[in-house]
Amino acid sequence: MDLLIFGARGDLSGRKLFPALYHLDNCELLPKDLRIFALAREDISLDTFLGDIKERVRRYVDDSRWSEEQWSAYADRFVYHRVDFGDEEQIRTLAEFLSPQRPVLFYLATPPGLFGPICEHLGAAGCLEGDRRLLLEKPIGHDLASCREVNDTVAKFFPEDAIYRVDHYLGKETVQNLLVLRFGNRFINTQWDQSCVDHVQISVAEPIGIEGRWSYYDSVGQLRDMVQNHLMQLLCLVAMEPPNSMTAEGIRDEKVKIVRALRPIDLENVRDHAVRGQYTAGWLRGEPVPGYLQEEDCPKSESNTETFVALKAFIDNWRWAGVPFYLRTGKRMPEKLTEIVITYKALPHNIFAAAGREDVPNRLVIRLQPNEGIEMQMVSKLHSLRNKMGLVTETLNLDFLGSADLDRIPDAYERLFLDAINGDQSLFVGREEIEESWRWCDGLIDAWQESGLPIQGYQAGSWGPTRGELLIEKDGRSWHV
């Protein structure tokens, strides 16, 4: 098998792709004959390329998993090839390395504008005969129309069952665990609908800012960068019906029904259902940090791009009728936190009220990062002779890493590479899902623009603008963190 990585000198390759492949190699999970073709524009030697990559991979590999012998076995798999991806002649040179008898994975870690030309040139060069799979990194388009254009172009060269659209959140162990928790535990599954659930919160907070990606990020913003893909996938996994099997088709069919059932956020409700924010200068862990417009590579004095989004969404179907889903994501927040919180409805009648005990609803907290695990908040009796019916809220805490036979949780890209190598698409995004998701986000972006609602400033190091708090508090609820 051959793996061709387009954009091998890019940030994603150094930070995620090559360390993930190193780990897989270390665990003897890569096909023995796998060759890795690192493709980039720079005219450098294989030694120079490997020198740079070694330094980067080393940063992401634990001492216990690093050895020079392992590295040199891994490095032996590499071929570095200089290619200008927009140039048909140069892509043609790849043909001499590939054979129709060897399966090939093409990994496009390039801007989406190059997806079409690369596929066309590969096709023209005769590189697409045999078992060929295409992995596409996000963003796939910046709206429904451009996403369709990319999908139409790649569909001319690859059938849908050979296209692997990467959303790295789906490769996270704990995200997959959502499916197991929901569909492998009867007691969770039977309490998972509007009759039991009061509301759902999904928060994805990051302390980092724009990290040298200002001009890219400014043309995208947090809705396109995080909500359209990662939060939408989490929402689907929380809300979807049980698929009848764990096949890619079964899972995708159920996810797409959720996206279709999402109530549009339009001009009428945008003011109450959506908040956009942009960070201003502030403090994080005792250090001063600049505002979005003062970031080093920011060339502008003003920008209307959001770095924070909070939404109140409804899924108009039988299971979730009337249950709000509060979504929140932002940059420069106080900590790295990805969690899903299911808050259950209050008891029909509180028999402990006479003892002065308020009804505290059960809460299931699914922590995706850091400290992957789940917490169930429940009420129990206070052990005491004096206080006969004193009640306390206790937390059942399941720490996944602690209970696993693992000393680390594998990175998402390890799972995704392995699945693509094995031809399993269940953790990749289907065409319909991604297009429906863009349709919904486009409606929201249009409503934002038409409404002229101003972007809300929030201090770096805070949990977002006050309006983000009000979005949930006006419903008599509050963010879990």
**Site for ligand BG6 (CB under 6 A): which residue of 2, 173, 218, 225?**
225
Residue whose CB is less far from ligand BG6, 121 or 168: 168
The structure tokens 């890209």 sit at 413
Residue whose CB is less far from ligand BG6, 16 or 431: 16
CA 431 remoteness from chain centre: 17
Residue whose CB is less far from ligand BG6, 225 or 306: 225
- Regarding 339 and contact with ligand BG6 (CB under 6 A), the answer is no
Residue whose CB is less far from ligand BG6, 112 or 243: 112
State the minimum distance, in angstroms, from the CB of residue 372 to ligand BG6: 12
Distance in angstroms between the alpha carbons of the first and the last residue of the chain: 46
Supply 339's token pair: 């969690």
Range list of β-strands (E), 232-295:
274-280, 282-284, 287-289
Q: Could you give the string, one character per residue 109-148, with x where binding to ligand BG6 holds by CB under 6 A and - elsewhere?
A: ----------------------------------------
Distance (Å, whole) CA 53 – CA 79: 13
Residue 199 annotated among the catalytic residues of the structure:
no
- Regarding 414 and contact with ligand BG6 (CB under 6 A), the answer is no
Residue whose CB is less far from ligand BG6, 172 or 199: 172
- Regarding 206 and contact with ligand BG6 (CB under 6 A), the answer is yes
- Regarding 306 and contact with ligand BG6 (CB under 6 A), the answer is no
- Regarding 198 and contact with ligand BG6 (CB under 6 A), the answer is no
Q: Which residues pair with 205 in a beta bridge?
A: 330, 337
Q: Could you give the string, one character per residue 147-186, with x where binding to ligand BG6 holds by CB under 6 A and - elsewhere?
A: ---------------------x------------------
Distance (Å, whole) CA 79 – CA 95: 14
Strand order through the sheet with 78-82: 78-82, 35-40, 2-6, 104-108, 132-136, 163-165
Dihedral (Cα; 318, 322, 323, 329), 10-degree rounding: 110
Q: Is the dihedral of CA 102, 43, 212, 305 positive or negative?
A: negative
Distance set, CA 225 to CA 12, 75, 229, 351 (Å)? 15, 33, 7, 47
- Regarding 375 and contact with ligand BG6 (CB under 6 A), the answer is no
Active-site residue among 230, 273, 349, 480?
230
Residue nearest to ligand BG6 as judged by C-beta position: 225
Residue whose CB is less far from ligand BG6, 206 or 419: 206
Count of residues interacting with ligand BG6 (CB under 6 A) = 3
Residue whose CB is less far from ligand BG6, 343 or 437: 437
Residue whose CB is less far from ligand BG6, 165 or 168: 168
Q: How many other C-beta atoms can be found within 10 angstroms of the C-beta atom of residue 187? A: 7
State the minimum distance, in angstroms, from the CB of residue 422 to ligand BG6: 22
Cβ atoms 256, 430 nearer than 8 A? yes
State the minimum distance, in angstroms, from the CB of residue 179 to ligand BG6: 18
For residue 334, is the peptide bond before it cis, meaning its omega torsion is within 30 degrees of 0? Answer: no
- Regarding 372 and contact with ligand BG6 (CB under 6 A), the answer is no
Q: What is the largest CA-CA distance in the chain?
A: 85
Cβ atoms 442, 450 nearer than 8 A? no
State the minimum distance, in angstroms, from the CB of residue 223 to ligand BG6: 12
CA-wise closest residue to 164 among 142, 190, 138: 138
**DSSP for 284-309, written as a single string:** ETTEEE--GGGSTT---S-----SEE
CA-wise closest residue to 15 among 115, 137, 162, 142: 137
State the minimum distance, in angstroms, from the CB of residue 217 to ligand BG6: 7
Cβ atoms 259, 436 nearer than 8 A? yes
Distance (Å, whole) CA 197 – CA 279: 33
Any idea which residues carry the catalytic annotation?
Answer: 230
Provide the binding-site residues for ligand BG6, judged by CB under 6 A: 168, 206, 225
